Structure 1
Amino acid sequence: MAAQIPAPSLRCERSIAIRPSLARNPLMLAQRGSPASRKGGPVRYRGFSVRAVLGNRNNAVSRLEDLLNLDLNPHTEKIIAEYIWIGGSGIDVRSKSRTISRPVDDPSELPKWNYDGSSTGQAPGEDSEVILYPQAIFKDPFRGGNNILVMCDAYKPNGEPIPTNKRYRAAQIFSDPKVVAEVPWFGIEQEYTLLQPNVNWPLGWPIGGYPGPQGPYYCSAGAEKSFGRDISDAHYKACLYAGINISGTNAEVMPGQWEYQVGPSVGIDAGDHIWVSRYILERITEQAGVVLSLDPKPIEGDWNGAGCHTNYSTKTMREEGGFEVIKKAVVNLSLRHKEHISAYGEGNERRLTGKHETANINTFSWGVANRGCSVRVGRETEKEGKGYMEDRRPASNMDPYVVTSLLAETTILWEPSVELVASS
């Protein structure tokens, strides 16, 4: 029998304890050099506190705390902008910081920047410069004050988008007059798994072993069932502070797995908000010493995978008679099923097996209140005759720019040929 070890979530709960605080900044120290922090007590942050294990490093850690807690506002107009972009794998987020001379409210006020694309797998070494174009601004929950997070996309020096820049094509689709008129809404359910460091095994699971069967973990409470709530709550509050349109969170069916929801967001905003929310989650798990996984099937066997269900509606779907518009959209989705599957995340075939609340990857299906279908329509939508649909096919590692724009393209812009409809 595998030895039971303390789950990293317990370690995190010792190091990250959710408690209210009056800190200036969400992740900054509330009091510089407070007696509690200097004696190894909790170092307070807004939304949660971090207990520093000081030991012989007491003085050095206290000095570091003081520097992290510096409030720039009384001393300078300058701010720190964290430029964020998507790396060469298409799923990794990269970032670097620069000083901006004054607070800004719009990305057009920010300068373009560059990075070494040969170090991210996005350019050859002999011509490695990639240019970052600022596209969206969020408040920085880690530095607070007027400091900002900046979502960017990437271009060659000649102005062409690099191959991994999926935002560029998505923005073209969302700026099409037909799409603009339909005001597409997206509500995205991002699932993720927390892993113990070094062993890449889910949080709360015994190393080399398994917990009890699924059932008691979904939306659960209790030390024996819920692993990682501190991280989920910290992320929730940090996203709200940043201006992410986060609408909720919950523990998932598999222990150590969580979900948060973003939306409803209109058009390109959905992708920006999901990517920045992922960046914030990466930073929080980094601080907690836990590994974040967006693998769609992190554990083989009788365990749920991780998806990124995408709820979607258009203006005409939300109006009277919208249910008929939804059914027409479902027909289009069925005719382009293979194209959508190919764009819905790497490794999704391990998740879409027809089990664990998924449809089979090779077959398109839809139904009312059926979580085993490719596309689910809610009971309320059927009853009201208008509303939204849920595409349950996207994997947890999907690119939200690709998924949202493809849904809009297929249901608003794309018209199937007579031959294709006849053969379906």
Structure 2
Amino acid sequence: MAQILAPSTQWQMRISKSSPNASPITSNMWSSLLWKQNKKVSPTSSAKFRVMAIKSDNSIINRLEGLLNLDITPFTDKIIAEYIWIGGTGIDVRSKSRTISKPVEHPSELPKWNYDGSSTGQAPGDDSEVILYPQAIFKDPFRGGNNILVICDSYTPQGEPIPTNKRHRAAEIFSNPKVQAEVPWYGIEQEYTLLQTNVKWPLGWPVGGYPGPQGPYYCSAGADKSFGRDISDAHYKACLYAGINISGTNGEVMPGQWEYQVGPSVGIEAGDHIWASRYILERITEQAGVVLSLDPKPIEGDWNGAGCHTNYSTKSMREDGGFEVIKKAILNLSLRHKDHISAYGEGNERRLTGKHETASINTFSWGVANRGCSIRVGRDTEKNGKGYLEDRRPASSMDPYVVTSLLAETTLLWEPTLEAEALAAQKLALKV
């Protein structure tokens, strides 16, 4: 098994066997330094070479790395903007670059752009132009300087949001005065799985085989328990550099699986930050030669799936008496359980089985400190009488624009009938 934590073949420079002074890249470069050679693969295979710097008598020669790390700021006012959008599957991220004449501070300063929607499954070939509207900007951790990443959403040339543009509807909900007055906060826990490139099997697992049972891997340390830490750490720092509100990271229960948390974020910002963080993670795994998977159940059997637990609170929930507001929100969520499940990520039925810290997909439940429920309330929230709730149903592949706006809509804008409310309160043992 090869634990590949080094740049992809696009970056690679072949090392001459006659270069006795070859040494690894310096630690300040993006690529990871740690990798293990797969003994089954010939060390001379061009597909397995990793970037190495060749020392001359006076300097390290690595022209490609030199150009990639080149700071253009002293020489031009122009910057590179990486326009990022969501592709036709609703989960794939696409991007392309353009030169902007000077640094910008707000997305309104950027021009709209377009792309070939027929190549992303978002438009027919005879009318393929889709328009990108810049919506949020982040510092570019790959190019540095004044260069930026631009989160965009997609529209027809007539200005209509295309079907995969979920941000547009979310923005409408978050701009509702009733929602704005409640200042909705989100903390999103994004789980993901790292896969070996050629076999699409989790990082650290024997090819075609299984590691020992779950137990020793969660938040672990050690070469036999933790696989992919360099990727997680690189991603953590890159997100902080970019201005993403990342708040932590940890190894997960299944080996080769990790989690990071983004938030607290307010309203539409939560979706923008998650999509930007996913794009950065895709780029880092690309460089590391590892495949990123957001599949909610990447390995069948007695293994944890991957979720995107969403912590949520409103101003009323965070103030004195907020626990009663939380219980009313839970009541509303129970009545729209099917609506939420249908919007919480494809393949989620393979994950929400009632096992491995999940509730059954068919049954709504809530509890204090119970990770086997649909909605979990923390001990501190119960004790303090205010706080937040955790929706544990969203899959790792969920669209954060959809989940965050749906939570706001259901708890702040949607009103059940009095009869339905009474029946649900009785069923859930809620006194509201």
Tell me the TM-score normalized by structure 2.
0.88
Deviations 1:279-314 (A, max 9, x none): 000000000000000000000000000000000000
Q: Alpha carbon RMSD of aligned pairs, Å?
A: 2.1
Counterpart of 1:96, as a letter, is: K
Alignment-derived partner of residue 386 in structure 2? 386
For 2:216, what is the secondary structure of its paired residue?
coil
Q: Partner of 2:28 in structure 1?
A: 45
Partner of 1:69: 69
Partner of 1:22: none
Question: Which residue of structure 1 aligns with residue 44 of structure 2?
Answer: none
**Aligned: 1:123 with 2:106:** no
Deviation at 1:70, TM superposition (A): 1.6
Contact 2:178 2:412 in 1 (8 A): yes
Does the CA contact (< 8 Å) of 2:192 and 2:292 recur in 1? Answer: yes
Compute the displacement of 1:417 (Å): 1.6
For residue 115 of structure 1, give the secondary structure of its aligned residue in structure 2.
strand
CA distance in 1, matches of 2:392, 2:200: 26
Kept in 2, the 8 Å contact 1:202–1:256? The answer is yes
Structure 1: gaps spanning 5 or more residues: 17-27, 29-35
What do the CA deviations read for 1:262-291 (whole angstroms, capped 9, x no partner)? Answer: 000000000000000000000000000000
Structure 1 CA distance for aligned equivalents of residues 328 and 53 of structure 2: 65
In structure 2, C-alpha distance between the alignment counterparts of 1:73 and 1:132, rounded to whole Å: 26
Aligned residue in 2 for 1:25: none
Identity across matched positions, percent: 81
Does the alignment pair 1:114 with 2:114?
A: yes
Residue 41 of structure 1 aligns to which amino acid in structure 2? P
- 1:232 counterpart residue number: 232
Alpha-carbon distance in 2 for matches of 1:191, 1:365:
22
* Structure 2 counterpart of 1:95, one-letter code: S
How far is the alpha carbon of 1:62 from its aligned partner? 1.7
| Residue 307 (1) aligns with residue 307 (2) | yes
CA contact under 8 A between 2:54 and 2:62: conserved in structure 1? no
Name the residue aligned to 1:322: 322
Q: What are the Cα deviations for residues 228-249 of structure 1, in whole angstroms up to 9, with x where unaligned? A: 0000000000000000000000
1:150 matched to 2:150? The reply is yes
What corresponds to 1:94 in structure 2? Answer: 94
- Of residues 297-306 and 69-78 in structure 1, the stretch that sits farther from structure 2 once superposed is 69-78
Write the distance in 2 (CA, Å) between the matches of 1:243 and 1:211: 37
* Equivalence map 1:351-362=2 (5 Å): 351-362=351-362
Amino acid of the residue matched to residue 268 of structure 1? Answer: I
Q: Which amino acid aligns with 2:117?
A: G
Q: Deviations over 1:40-72 (max 9, x none)?
A: 332342677558544999999822122112211
Determine if the alignment matches structure 1 residue 275 to structure 2 residue 275: yes
Q: 2:373 & 2:316 partners in 1: Cα distance? A: 23
When the two structures are superposed, what TM-score results if normalisation uses the length of structure 1?
A: 0.90
Matched residues in 2 for 1:247 and 1:224: separation?
27
Give the partner amino acid of 2:25: P
Say if 1:333 and 1:158 are closer, same or farther in 2 by CA, change over 3 A: same
Question: Does the 8 Å CA contact 2:53/2:61 hold for their aligned counterparts?
Answer: no
| Aligned ranges 1:124-203 → 2 under 5 Å | 124-203=124-203
- Superposed CA offset, 1:346-396 (max 9, x none): 000000000000000000000000000000000000000000000000000
The answer as to whether partners of 1:47 and 1:237 remain within 8 angstroms in 2 is: no
- The one-letter code matched in structure 2 to 1:42 is I
Residue matched to 1:409: 409
2:365 and 2:52 map into 1 onto residues whose CA distance is 56
3-state SS, counterpart of residue 23 of structure 2: coil
**CA, structure 1 residues 118+57, in 2 after alignment: closer, same or farther (shift >3 Å)?**
farther
**Residue of structure 2 in register with 1:377 after alignment:** 377
Distance 2:239 2:422 in 1: 47
Q: Name the SS of the counterpart of 1:132 in structure 2.
A: strand
Mapped to 1, the partners of 2:28 and 2:175 lie a distance apart of: 40
* Letter aligned with residue 105 of structure 1: E
Letter in 2 for 1:43: T
CA contact (8 A) 2:22 2:53 kept: no
Task: State the secondary structure of the residue aligned to 1:334.
Answer: helix
Q: Tell which deviates more after alignment, 40-49 or 323-332.
A: 40-49
Match of 1:354, as an amino acid?
G
Offset at residue 198 of structure 1 (A): 1.4
Look up the match of 1:83: 83
Whole-angstrom CA distance in 2 between matches of 1:355 and 1:56: 52
Change (3 A) 1:63 1:47: closer
User: What is the alpha-carbon distance in structure 1 between the residues aligned to residue 68 and residue 33 of structure 2?
Assistant: 13
**Is contact 1:54–1:61 with CA below 8 Å preserved after alignment?**
no
For 1:46 and 1:55, the matched residues in 2 are separated by 12
Contact 1:40 1:53 in 2 (8 A): no
The DSSP-based 3-state class of the residue aligned with 1:201 is coil
Are the equivalent residues in 2 in contact too, given 1:118–1:125 (CA < 8 A)?
yes
> Aligned partners of 1:165, 1:61: CA distance in 2, in Å?
45
1:134 match: secondary structure? strand
The answer to whether the Cα contact below 8 Å between 1:43 and 1:49 also exists between their aligned partners in 2 is: no
User: What CA distance in whole angstroms lies between the structure 2 residues aligned with 1:123 and 1:163?
Assistant: 10
Compared CA separation, residues 197 and 48, structure 1 to 2 (3 A): closer
User: Is the CA contact (8 Å cut-off) linking 1:88 and 1:120 kept in structure 2?
Assistant: yes
**For residue 252 of structure 2, what is the aligned residue in structure 1?**
252
